[in-house]
Amino acid sequence: MKLYYSSGACSLAPHIAAREAGVAFSLVKVDLTTHKLVEGGADYYAISPRGYVPLLEFDDGSRHTEAAALLQYLGDQDKDHVLLPAYGSKERLTVIEWLTYVSTELHKGFAPLWKKETPEAMRQIVRDNLAKRFAEVDAVLEKNAFLTGANFTVADAYAFTIINWTNFLGLSLNAYPHLQAYMARVAARPAVQEALRAEGLAK
Ligand SMILES: N[C@@H](CCC(=O)N[C@@H](CS)C(=O)NCC(=O)O)C(=O)O
């Protein structure tokens, strides 16, 4: 399968999950300013009508989008059911609950900060809302090593990717020591290091 991605974008989450699950995949880099493929310059809108990454293309040519959905598919490739617990279990419900939270509260919560046209007053509201979310997550991580307990799951791949945007946007996590420690813990995982290196975000 092929993963269409842009360095450090939300596509880093399925990228990490694919490496954690040990599935075979190749990467196709997209320039999100031009919406063209970096290699060859093909029009990305012809591949992904919304122009968004991530997009997963299977060997049969079928294409799928939406980070939270791709993460569930990739999590299910872990036959030990650690990245995503078994169908029907409450543990799985908890991971999907967190995936949905990251998607709607964090991922889309950050979105206005990426837009040049967002006015400063709005940016402040967005930052204040994110601060509330970071405080919630920090409290959870005071008790747990990862979002849902002792194990790294696809929800952590997603949360790490989105909260990592604080580095690109100059937002401090100093007020959230447990969240800061978590970000370092996730970043140190071999699969995460490989993904960051492949995206040119680590040496
Ligand atoms: N609903 C999509 C949103 C994906 C998304 O926001 N992708 C961003 C990068 S993180 C993007 O491709 N933006 C390009 C654009 O807005 O043109 C998902 O959850 O996967």
* Nearest atom (ligand 1) to Cα of 35: 17
Mean residue pLDDT across the chain? 98
- pLDDT category, 152, cuts 50, 70, 90? very high
Domain contains 101: yes
- pLDDT category, 145, cuts 50, 70, 90? very high
Q: pLDDT tens across 20-44, in order?
A: 999 999 999 999 999 999 999 999 9
- pLDDT category, 2, cuts 50, 70, 90? very high
pLDDT at 54: 98
* Nearest atom (ligand 1) to Cα of 50: 17
Domain count, the chain: 2
Main-chain phi, psi angles of 132, to 5 degrees: -65, -40
Query: Could you give the CA distance from residue 113 to residue 125 in angstroms, rounded to a whole number?
Result: 10
Tell me the CA–centroid distance for residue 121 and ligand 1, in Å: 24
Is-contact 28 37, C-beta < 8 A? yes
Which residue of 36, 52, 64, 163 sits with most ligand 1 atoms within 8 Å of its CB, as the best mutation to test the pocket? 52
**What burial letters (b/e) apply to 107-120, b meaning 16+ CB within 10 Å?**
bebbebbeeeeeee
SS (H, E, C) 45-109: HHCCCCCCCCEEECCCCCEEECHHHHHHHHHCCCCCCCCCCCCCCHHHHHHHHHHHHHHHHHHHH
* Nearest atom (ligand 1) to Cα of 103: 19
pLDDT at 112: 97
Containing structural domain, residue 20: 2-80+192-198
- 59 and 97 belong to one structural domain: no
Domain contains 43: yes
Q: Is 163 in the pocket of ligand 1 (CB under 6 A)?
A: no
HSE-up (13 A, CA, CB side) for residue 164: 22
Tell me the CA–centroid distance for residue 53 and ligand 1, in Å: 5
HSE-up (13 A, CA, CB side) for residue 33: 2
List residues bridging with 3 in a β-sheet.
27, 56
Rg (CA), the chain: 17
- 102 and 181 belong to one structural domain: yes
- 96 and 160 belong to one structural domain: yes
- pLDDT category, 188, cuts 50, 70, 90? very high
